[in-house]
Amino acid sequence: MGKYITQNPAILGGKPIISGTRMSVEAILELLASGIEIKEITKEYPFLKKAQVQAAIDYATKVVSREEKYINSLTIINEDSADSHPY
């Protein structure tokens, strides 16, 4: 997952976190979604660096991209199945 993001079943139930912390990618995304800027996040959480926050964003982007590809592949399979279905 890279040098900034890790998962450990013993920490936060295995959610992706910033390596060496208990700060989840989810928590960082929630802060960003609420309108808090990266600069403010690193000020409020001084143990976080800008590169770590950016890594959380990058990680989430990759996860969503994989989900979209999976959903699209299911749609194609379902459309193919519908054509051959007798109903």
pLDDT of residue 66: 77
End-to-end Cα separation, the chain, in angstroms: 45
Domain 5-84 matching CATH 1.20.120.350: the answer reads no
In this structure, are residues 25 and 15 in contact, taking their beta carbons and an 8 Å threshold? yes
pLDDT of residue 22: 93
Q: Is the pTM of this model over 0.95?
A: no
Domain definitions of the chain by residue range: 5-84
**Local confidence pLDDT in tens for the 87 residues of the chain:** 679 999 999 999 999 999 999 999 999 999 999 999 999 999 999 999 999 999 999 999 999 887 666 666 666 656 555 555 444
CB atoms within 10 A of CB 53: 24
30: nearest Cα among 57, 55, 62, 63: 57
